[in-house]
Amino acid sequence: MRIGIVGLGLMGGSMALALKHLSFITSIVGSDHNEEHQRIALARGLVQAIVPFSKLKEECDVIFLAVPVNGVIALLNECTDLEGSDKTLIDLGSTKALIVDAVPPCIRENFIPAHPMTGTEQFGPNAALEGLYADKVVVLCDLEHSGNTQRDTALRIFRSIGMQVHTMGAAQHDRHAAFISHMPHVISYALANTVLAQEEKENILALAAGGFRSMSRLAKSSPAMWEDIFRQNRENVLEAVEFFETELQALKTALKNQDYTELRREMKGANKLYEIFS
- Whichever domain contains 7, its CATH number is 3.40.50.720
Distance of alpha carbon 174 from alpha carbon 234, whole angstroms: 10
Question: Of 151, 168, 185, which marks where a domain is finished?
Answer: 168
- Residue 260 belongs to domain with CATH number: 1.10.3660.10
The pLDDT score that the predictor gives to residue 206 is 80
If asked whether residues 17 and 145 sit together in one domain, one would say: yes
Residues 59 and 131 in one domain: yes
pLDDT confidence of residue 199: 82
Q: How far apart are CA 198 and CA 274, in angstroms?
A: 33
Same domain, 17 and 109: yes
* Predicted local distance difference test score (pLDDT) of residue 278: 63
CA angle 77, 172, 249 (to 5 degrees): 125
Query: Is 194 in the same domain as 66?
Result: no
Verify that 118 and 213 share a domain, yes or no: no
Rounded-to-5 percentages of helix, strand, coil across the chain: 60, 15, 30
Domain total in the chain: 2
Q: Point out the residues of the chain with pLDDT beneath 50.
A: none
Show which of 124, 150, 168 is a domain's final residue.
168
Note the pLDDT of residue 68. 87
Note whether 213 and 103 are same-domain residues.
Answer: no
Where is the domain boundary, 110, 135, 168?
Answer: 168
Query: Taking Cα atoms as reference points, which of 196, 184, 191, 250 lies closest to residue 216?
Result: 191
Give the integer Cα–Cα distance in Å for 264 and 210: 22
Q: Could you tell me the residue range of the domain that residue 135 belongs to?
A: 2-168
Q: For residues 183 and 150, state if they share a domain.
A: no
The CA–CA distances, whole Å, from 257 to 8, 251, 261, 263, 266 equal 52, 10, 11, 10, 14
256 with 160, same domain: the answer is: no
Tell me, what's the pLDDT at 222?
A: 84
